[in-house]
């Protein structure tokens, strides 16, 4: 410890004002504060003692909450790979294949976004914000395993630069950064983001009868064809019981790397709620909104997809992951507590509407979150206005 500390102390003057590498001050600062908590003390007036929490701790908690999804995602990539090529494999073989696919994606995302972040910190002279710890992990988890690495790099850089830094950096962005990366990739490279991209095959060829279609695609097809009920078409997949409710909940299904397992997402949600880092109000209300809308559609029952039992909406696609890790981003969500209920509810409702009615893109959570990001300030405006009105009402003059 002492040696590292001394080493840092020796280099420090070079990075301070007037030093040789003054412009890289914030990079040095990042490394230093990463290794050692800063020795700063409180000001002379005001709070003399402070809570030890900081943004690093907060963001790290979110990364920890995502770990179950990441680990399960790695296994699932391997698992899907082996069932698609019709081989029986051990847990370790599956993890090996999965790691081979997923870890480079995570590395590329962190590296590309991190470099963009660092360049902006140097040019704009602001400290490197810890928010990227989360974004860098979120991006690979919401992408299909077959996506080319260069696209991940491009999408992450686009999101960091356009969605975040252009607005003034962490804390100022309007749109969720990771969702922007995904939306950018989806609309720029639809071929790599939809269709048969959800299972990593590698060089092997799939077994006979294999289909890479996701549950959402099957449900949508059933409403177009109208020949069989939606549950029958889900049950009729090429691999036995692939899309029954239990398997959908556990997540051994094709899909984006981190999104498939509702169980793992719920573990993450438990961590976020227990630590108080994620807003339980948003998580609950997104689920509630999706259930509610699914139920309304059941009552209307105009096509087969609308007849999908509403609890299925929570376990297929990215609803659970989006509710827990995307909608709860405190910067882009509503900032008032009442607003959080409305915001979450509308995300849930919109997700189901989009996924049932939008033929181009069967997954609704991405667009729903981005849309509500834009409307969050409006919701806040009315909640804050209500607070002001209560105060005005009280006044007699």
State yes or no: residue 396 binds other proteins (CB under 8 A).
yes
Stretch that binds other proteins, among 50-58, 115-123, 181-189, 229-237 (CB under 8 A): 50-58
Q: Which of 39, 209, 301, 359 binds other proteins (CB under 8 A)?
A: 39
Unique residue bearing structure tokens 């993450």: 268
State yes or no: residue 359 binds other proteins (CB under 8 A).
no
State yes or no: residue 274 binds other proteins (CB under 8 A).
yes
Q: Which of 3, 10, 18, 44 binds other proteins (CB under 8 A)?
A: 44
State yes or no: residue 3 binds other proteins (CB under 8 A).
no
Q: Which of 51, 203, 359, 360 binds other proteins (CB under 8 A)?
A: 51
Distance separating alpha carbons of residues 146 and 143, to the nearest angstrom: 8
Tell me whether residue 333 or residue 345 sits nearer to other proteins (CB atom).
Answer: 333
State yes or no: residue 12 binds other proteins (CB under 8 A).
no
Tell me whether residue 310 or residue 338 sits nearer to other proteins (CB atom).
Answer: 338
Tokens of 240: 């036995």
37 CB contacts (<8 Å, ≥6 apart)?
Answer: none
Shortest separation between residue 374's beta carbon and other proteins, angstroms: 17
Q: Which of 104, 195, 202, 276 binds other proteins (CB under 8 A)?
A: 276
Q: Which of 7, 21, 22, 42 binds other proteins (CB under 8 A)?
A: 42
Tokens of 200: 């990593």
CA distances from 13 to 17, 24, 136 (A): 8, 12, 31
Neighbouring C-beta atoms of residue 28, cutoff 10 Å: 18
Distance separating alpha carbons of residues 30 and 16, to the nearest angstrom: 13
Burial of residue 144 (CB within 10 Å: 0-12, 13-18, 19+) is: buried
Q: Which of 279, 285, 351, 373 binds other proteins (CB under 8 A)?
A: 279
Q: Which of residues 65-124 bind other proteins (CB under 8 A)?
A: none
- Eight-state DSSP code of residue 52: S
Tokens of 360: 């181009």
Q: Which of residues 206-225 bind other proteins (CB under 8 A)?
A: none
Site track for other proteins across 334-353, x = CB under 8 A: xxxx--x-------------
Distance separating alpha carbons of residues 155 and 188, to the nearest angstrom: 9
State yes or no: residue 60 binds other proteins (CB under 8 A).
yes
188 CB contacts (<8 Å, ≥6 apart)?
Answer: none
State yes or no: residue 235 binds other proteins (CB under 8 A).
no
Cβ–Cβ under 8 Å, residues 272 and 334: no
- Nearest by Cα to 214 from 160, 164, 270, 252: 252
Q: Which of 36, 91, 92, 96 binds other proteins (CB under 8 A)?
A: 36
Q: Which of 10, 40, 240, 359 binds other proteins (CB under 8 A)?
A: 40
State yes or no: residue 311 binds other proteins (CB under 8 A).
no
DSSP per residue, 148-172? -HHHHHHHHHHIIIIIIGGGTSTTT
Radius of gyration of the chain (CA): 23
State yes or no: residue 270 binds other proteins (CB under 8 A).
no
Shortest separation between residue 24's beta carbon and other proteins, angstroms: 17
Distance separating alpha carbons of residues 139 and 205, to the nearest angstrom: 28
State yes or no: residue 169 binds other proteins (CB under 8 A).
yes
Cβ–Cβ under 8 Å, residues 230 and 223: yes
Cβ–Cβ under 8 Å, residues 219 and 230: yes
Q: Which of 14, 27, 33, 211 binds other proteins (CB under 8 A)?
A: 33
Tokens of 54: 């900081």
Shortest separation between residue 56's beta carbon and other proteins, angstroms: 4
Q: Which of 15, 25, 28, 61 binds other proteins (CB under 8 A)?
A: 61
Shortest separation between residue 278's beta carbon and other proteins, angstroms: 10
- Eight-state DSSP code of residue 194: S
Binding site for other proteins (CB under 8 A): 1, 4-5, 33, 35-58, 60-61, 127, 129-131, 169-172, 274-277, 279, 330-331, 333-337, 340, 384, 387-388, 390-392, 394-397
């Amino acid at each position: 410890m002492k040696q590292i500390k001394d080493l840092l102390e020796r280099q420090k003057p070079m990075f301070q004002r007037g030093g040789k590498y003054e412009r890289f001050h914030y990079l040095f600062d990042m490394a230093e504060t990463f290794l050692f908590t800063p020795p700063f003390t409180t000001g002379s007036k005001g709070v003399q003692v402070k809570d030890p929490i900081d943004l690093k701790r907060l963001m790290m908690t979110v990364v920890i909450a995502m770990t179950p999804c990441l680990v399960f995602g790695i296994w699932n990539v391997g698992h899907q790979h082996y069932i698609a090529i019709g081989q029986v494999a051990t847990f370790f073989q599956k993890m090996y294949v999965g790691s081979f696919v997923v870890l480079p994606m995570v590395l590329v995302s962190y590296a590309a976004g991190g470099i963009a972040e660092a360049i902006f910190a140097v040019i704009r002279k602001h400290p490197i914000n810890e928010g990227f710890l989360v974004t860098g992990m979120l991006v690979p988890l919401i992408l299909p395993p077959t996506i080319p690495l260069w696209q991940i790099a491009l999408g992450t850089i686009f999101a960091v630069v356009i969605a975040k830094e252009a607005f003034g950096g962490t804390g100022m962005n309007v749109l969720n950064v990771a969702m922007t990366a995904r939306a950018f990739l989806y609309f720029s490279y639809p071929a790599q983001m939809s269709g048969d991209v959800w299972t990593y095959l590698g060089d092997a060829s799939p077994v006979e009868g294999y289909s890479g279609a996701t549950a959402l695609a099957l449900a949508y097809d059933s409403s177009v064809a109208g020949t069989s009920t939606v549950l029958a078409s889900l049950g009729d997949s090429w691999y036995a019981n692939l899309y029954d409710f239990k398997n959908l909940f556990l997540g051994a299904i094709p899909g984006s790397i981190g999104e498939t397992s509702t169980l793992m997402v719920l573990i993450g949600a438990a961590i976020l709620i227990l630590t108080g880092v994620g807003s339980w109000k948003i998580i609950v209300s997104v689920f509630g909104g999706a259930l509610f809308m699914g139920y309304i559609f059941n009552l209307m029952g105009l096509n087969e997809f609308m007849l999908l039992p509403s609890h299925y909406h929570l376990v297929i696609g990215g609803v659970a992951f989006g509710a827990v890790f995307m909608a709860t981003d405190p910067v882009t969500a509503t900032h008032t507590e009442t607003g959080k209920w409305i915001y979450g509810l509308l995300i849930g409702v919109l997700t189901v509407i989009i996924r049932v009615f939008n033929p181009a893109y069967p997954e609704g959570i991405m667009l729903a979150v981005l849309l509500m990001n834009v409307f969050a300030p409006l919701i806040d405006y009315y909640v804050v206005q209500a607070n002001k009105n209560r105060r005005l009402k009280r006044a007699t003059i």
